[in-house]
A and B are shown apart, each in its own frame.
Chain A
Amino acid sequence: MMVAIGEISLSLALVVSLYATLVSYWGGHTGNSVMVRSGQNSFFAMFILFSIASVVLLRAFLTHDFSLQYVYNYSSRDLPLFYTISAFWAGQKGSLLLWGWMLSLFGSVAIFQNREHNRRLIPYVVAILSATLVLFSVLMVVASPVFAKNAVLPPDGYGLNPMLQNPGMVFHPPTLYIGFVAFIIPYAFAMAALATGQLGDIWIRSTRRWTIFAWFFLGMGNLLGANWAYVELGWGGYWAWDPVENASFMPWLVGTAYLHSVMITEKKDMLKFWGVILVTATFALTIFGTFITRSGLISSVHAFGESTVGYYFLAFLFVILAFSTYMIYTRRELLQSKNQLDSMISRESSFLFNNLILVGAAFAIFWGTLFPMISEAVRGVKITVGPPFYNKVMFPIGLALLVLTGICPLIPWRKASLANLKRNFLMPLMTAVVGGGALLVFGVREPLPWVFFTAAIFVAATIFLEFARGVRARSAGGKENMLKALFNLIWRNKRRYGGYIIHTGMLVMFVGFAGGAYNSQGDFAVKAGGSFEIKDYRLTYIGYTNTNPRPTKEEVVATLLVEKGGKKIGYLQPEKNFYSNQEMSNSEVAIHSTMKEDIYVIFAALNEDEVASFKVHINPLVKWIWLGGWLLGIGTIIAMWPDAREKKRFMARYADA
């Protein structure tokens, strides 16, 4: 009964989404406000329909309704509640439902926010969002029905893949989906602006928060995935340049370029053409990523069920590209910039270089990801590139981006004078010289890491300078103490200083990435009581214990004493777990993490004569990556926080328009 309600909801959603697409478009085209209103309401109705379907599926999981194939495939009776809920998006069908639901939710919120201010844009926005929901509804009703039933009622489910039983894996997919889904909002507004010819900056301002929101979640989704891989997969790293990872990294890079390019558009009425192309590319890349992931076309360590779903996304991708190209081409005259570059040494041009490099980075990754396919098609042999390719290509690109992070915010608009450059960059450059010298003294002598860390010091100094100047200016009159001045500085200029905090987070993450240059590892096999050394650590294997926390799970826990320079640091307890219902084992790594480095121990095996083997990694500076992620989050919240003054300025612009 409940399942039937879910199925009916999805079928209705298909009908309603088709209706909403047509009625909104026609209503916008003819200026018929009744039709426009009807389109909006249909969209809200879709949110309700997707919500009903989601609740039905969630209920099926909670009540262990194994008559549903999907519930059978991804859960079992002894699965803890937390993971029973997360099993909702463990597979493709549930992921599609979650995706569709999020799209209907974000779309409804964006439509509700803009229904009064952007009367002319909104019908087209609704039409584009509804058309996308048509795709999802078709997938869920026809291609990949989430409510498909088993012919026989199984007594218990197949269980959730043990590797997905980790908090990182619970949060990583939805976070990434939020990012993927939310990028459609700026895209839809861009297309609506093209359709109506209202190509001022109103569509950009209206979607600024949505863009940052999407960008943040896409980045965080990647970061949570990296964190999950690090703590759960047990190969000692966090990023493998696998096609699936690349698929979600590319839209983030182009989205970052878009985020920066629209700042120039807002301030200088330039780069409109470029901005529309970037937002289209970002959205197209999210769909392309979904296609790669779901089609099984490119071999990846992330196995998703190979299915026809990918090809629906490929078809959709072509539709988007054709539609967007047509829209941009027919409106090309309106996209002409009113202003031009005044100087090579200016903020505008530094932003443009940042844009070019970000897009270039995405291009390099795109090429590396597709290269096996292209070489097979052209030369008949499959040739692949791995992490060495990306590390080689991304190092100079990353370095250039890092330096621009320091330069862009400080370089003046239009044209920088020599005095100006001296005022802004002398102190950071001197700091970098001193810091670079100090690095040499403290033993950072390999050329590439040295250049990188020195550049990081330069960027840190530029950011510090910006904060210091602002605080000094505010506290000069003596009314505000330093701390209050800092707080007010950030709070009164949320966009700007939120942005700087985001830059700081990126900088801290970059330092963490660069730490990878100093990774070391070793494999060791010992009997109880035996010990081994890696770098300046000494690890002693004390023994193991064996328990059964659940009937289908057996845990073997090894205990190792860790000492550094003769001093006891503590114990590490890597585990090896065996899951009887899936005939699988998996390792739970043990990590001792400090700002300087992580000791990362994997319990590789325990053989018949009680010899335990361990794989140990020493990974410097990894903690900086997660710390940078937190800063990114804080900066994003500040940059997105509602701002009364910004709103007032915005309202004035509506009045003008």
Chain B
Amino acid sequence: MKNNQSKFFAGAAVVVVAITYLVYTGIEETSVYYLTVTEAVPMKSSTEDMRIEGLVLAGSIQKDKDSLGASFMLTDDSENIPVTYRGALPDLFDDDIDVVVQGKFDQSSGKFEAHTLLTSCPSKYEATEEEGMKASFIPRPLVE
């Protein structure tokens, strides 16, 4: 009886160690920096994959001819980073939208070459929730 209990605990320990090992090596191998624009600027000489979050600088978007990619400036109001992205652009991609880009700095051009471009749900949509519409409410014309 006792022997079986200890055998089971040995088996359980193997499972626990295996999962811990998986998590540990998984993080070692796949984790990437998650930076703001200001934090990313000093990392320009790094060749590592990283994620940067920021705002698309208004008026900076230059779409590729076939609309399958764009270059734009990523900003956090104190620093800017030029970004190029090749691939279909998300629906919400626009001026002043929060985006997260993942990729590497191109050492020759200094531009950030993104292989992933994620847009958060538009903040303008949710911002109204907490503030309510009090006096700042701007009436829109009736459409009907």
Q: How many residues of A contact B (CB 8 A)?
A: 79
Contact status A357-B15, CB under 8 Å: yes
Contact status A585-B143, CB under 8 Å: no
Does A382 touch B at the CB level, under 8 Å? yes
Total A-B residue contacts, Cβ distance less than 8 Å: 194
1/0 per position for B125-144, CB-CB distance to A under 8 A?
A: 11111101111010111111
Does A570 touch B at the CB level, under 8 Å? no
1/0 per position for A300-325, CB-CB distance to B under 8 A?
A: 01111111000000000000000000
In the complex, A551→B137 CA distance in Å? Answer: 22
1/0 per position for A552-592, CB-CB distance to B under 8 A?
A: 10000000000000000000000000000110111100000
Does B68 touch A at the CB level, under 8 Å? yes
Contact status A371-B27, CB under 8 Å: yes
Does A165 touch B at the CB level, under 8 Å? no
Interface residues of B in 93-126 (CB under 8 A from A): 100, 102, 118-123, 125-126
Contact status B89-A152, CB under 8 Å: no
Least CB distance from A228 to B in Å reads: 14
Does A476 touch B at the CB level, under 8 Å? no
Does A77 touch B at the CB level, under 8 Å? yes
Contact status B128-A158, CB under 8 Å: yes
Contact status B16-A392, CB under 8 Å: no
Which of A154, A353, A363, A382 has a CB less than 8 Å from the CB of B33? Answer: A382
Contact status A383-B7, CB under 8 Å: no
Does A443 touch B at the CB level, under 8 Å? no
Does A643 touch B at the CB level, under 8 Å? no
Residues of A close to B102: CB separation below 8 A: 386
Q: Is the interface of B mostly helix, strand, loop or mixed?
A: mixed
1/0 per position for A155-169, CB-CB distance to B under 8 A?
A: 110100101000000
Which of A368, A392, A605 has a CB less than 8 Å from the CB of B29? Answer: A392
Does B31 touch A at the CB level, under 8 Å? yes
With A151-B137, A340-B5, A607-B67 as contacts: A388 and B30 at CB distance below 8 Å: yes
Binds A, one of B18-26, B54-62, B71-79: B18-26
Which of A73, A93, A523 has a CB less than 8 Å from the CB of B68? Answer: A523
Does A525 touch B at the CB level, under 8 Å? yes
Residues of B close to A341: CB separation below 8 A: 4-5, 8
With A384-B31, A384-B32 as contacts: A307 and B130 at CB distance below 8 Å: yes
Residues of A close to B18: CB separation below 8 A: 396
Does B92 touch A at the CB level, under 8 Å? yes
In the complex, A364→B23 CA distance in Å? Answer: 6
Contact status A385-B26, CB under 8 Å: yes
Residues of A close to B27: CB separation below 8 A: 367-368, 371, 385, 389
User: Residue of A at shortest CB range from B137?
Assistant: A152
User: Residue of B at shortest CB range from A70?
Assistant: B129
Contact status B4-A342, CB under 8 Å: yes
**B interface, CB within 8 angstroms of A:** 1, 4-5, 7-8, 11-12, 15-16, 18-19, 22-23, 26-27, 29-35, 51, 53, 63, 65-68, 87-92, 100, 102, 118-123, 125-130, 132-135, 137, 139-144
Could you jot down 8 A-B contacts, CB within 8 Å?
A163-B121, A301-B119, A364-B23, A368-B23, A386-B30, A389-B26, A586-B91, A614-B88
10 closest Cβ pairs, A-B complex: A525-B66, A605-B67, A303-B121, A604-B88, A615-B88, A360-B19, A305-B129, A384-B34, A388-B30, A389-B30
